[in-house]
Amino acid sequence: GGFTALRRAFDIGAEAVVAEVTAAKLVGRGGAAFPTGVKWAAVRKERTPRYLICNADESEPGTFKDRVLMEGDPFALVESMVIAGFATGCERGYLYIRGEYPLATSRLENAMAQSRDRGLLGGNILGSGFAFDIELRRGAGAYICGEETALMNSIEGLRGEPRNKPPFPTQVGLFGQPTVINNVETLVNVPLILTMGADAFAAIGTERSTGPKLFCVAGHVKNPGV
């Protein structure tokens, strides 16, 4: 069912996509558990240009769920980023990937190239008039760049150090512009929400943490994995 969620997003419109994500009660899977719909709605109201960042700098010891997602279904992340860009009115996306993930990087580069060839990324996506492209940036092994504001500094070519907040990235983010930043696992839930519906998605999980959740099993165990 690849890219059927993107087609539905174009059918219902950007505001309806944000409303669907909000109704699904999707929260960030990067640790902070901030409501994704609230973040997206805040960026939509801001000035342009706006930027989207996918945080794929998965550096916590024992975590590898994002790597498994990127290696196993790179097209899902491309589709998710295009939907997020459309919903929030971003003209460019940055995929900041951990430098120690060479296989995920090559598969994502391949998926992005194929998506451009098929009109699923770049200018006038699926004849919708919406233009959005993704730039892949590899980290250099700095653990701190997993923090969202340090990651933005890194993309800008600055030292990877956290910024003071406020202002928050939704107002003053990448290159001083409004920015929405989500991690890999958060974003790949978006096509699920659009294909199964917000109510069905919200019926999974718990009241305050809806939808499916991936867990990494690592360490002194017989069967490590996700």
Per-residue pLDDT tens over the stretch 26-40: 999 988 899 999 999
Structure tokens at 31: 């640790």
Burial degree of 129 (CB within 10 A; 0-12, 13-18, 19+): exposed
Tokens of residue 197, six digits: 């519906």
Beta-carbon contacts of residue 36 (< 8 Å; ≥ 6 apart): 21, 22, 26, 27, 28, 182, 186, 190
Q: Which residue has the higher pLDDT, 2 or 16?
A: 16
Residue 30 confidence (pLDDT): 87
The terminus-to-terminus CA distance of the chain in angstroms comes to 23
Residue pLDDT, tens place only, 122-180? 999 999 999 999 999 999 999 999 999 999 999 999 999 999 999 999 999 999 999 99
Give per-residue pLDDT as tens, 59-111. 998 999 999 999 999 999 999 999 999 999 998 999 999 999 999 999 999 99
Determine the pLDDT at residue 12. Answer: 98
Whole-number pLDDT of residue 31: 82
Asked if residue 144 lies in contact with residue 134, where contact means CB atoms within 8 angstroms, the answer is: no
Confidence of residue 2 (pLDDT cuts 50, 70, 90): confident
Distance CA 163, CA 168 (A): 9
Under the phi-then-psi rule, with left for phi > 0, alpha for psi from -120 to 50, and beta for the rest, what region is 13?
left
- Amino acid of residue 86: F
Q: Are the CB atoms for 193 and 8 separated by under 8 Å?
A: no
Mean pLDDT, to the nearest integer, of 193-220? 96
What is the DSSP secondary structure assignment for residue 225, as one 8-state letter? B
Q: What is the pTM of this model?
A: 0.97
Provide CB contacts within 8 A for 162, sequence distance 6+.
144, 147, 149, 150
